[in-house]
Amino acid sequence: MQFVPVTQGLAECEFSYRGDGYRKRVHEMVSAWSHTRRMKRLAVGLMTTPEYSEWWVKRINDNVSGPSQENSQSIEEHFACCPF
């Protein structure tokens, strides 16, 4: 097994958010990250129990915040026109 520093290849990932082809570069990077994440999940999935899989789904859903009752507004208040 070989140790690979986390920063290896980082310089190639730098690019400007303008100019020709920047959207393509962003898409390539997101796609590569998604692929890596799926592969990790697949590799871990073969060694996990059903309880772990249930916990994983719950953990992801717990990160989604629900509506706050503290600062709640009606739809009418939310979309009311503000005078300038």
Assess if residue 35 is contained within a domain.
yes
For the whole prediction, is pTM greater than 0.75? no
Assess if residue 1 is contained within a domain.
no
Assess if residue 56 is contained within a domain.
no
The count of structural domains within the chain is 1
- The proportion of the chain whose per-residue pLDDT surpasses 90, expressed as a percent, equals 0
Assess if residue 66 is contained within a domain.
no
Q: How far apart are CA 60 and CA 19, in angstroms?
A: 36
Cβ atoms of residues 22 and 15 within 8 Å: yes
At 26 the three-state DSSP class reads: helix
Assess if residue 17 is contained within a domain.
yes
The boundaries of the domain holding residue 27 are: 11-47
User: pLDDT for 29-56, tens place per residue?
Assistant: 788 777 766 666 656 666 777 887 787 7
Assess if residue 23 is contained within a domain.
yes
- DSSP for 53-73? HHHHHHHHHHTS----STT--
The backbone torsions φ and ψ at residue 51, rounded to the nearest 5 degrees and listed phi first, read -65, -40
Q: How far apart are CA 66 and CA 59, in angstroms?
A: 14
pLDDT at position 77: 75
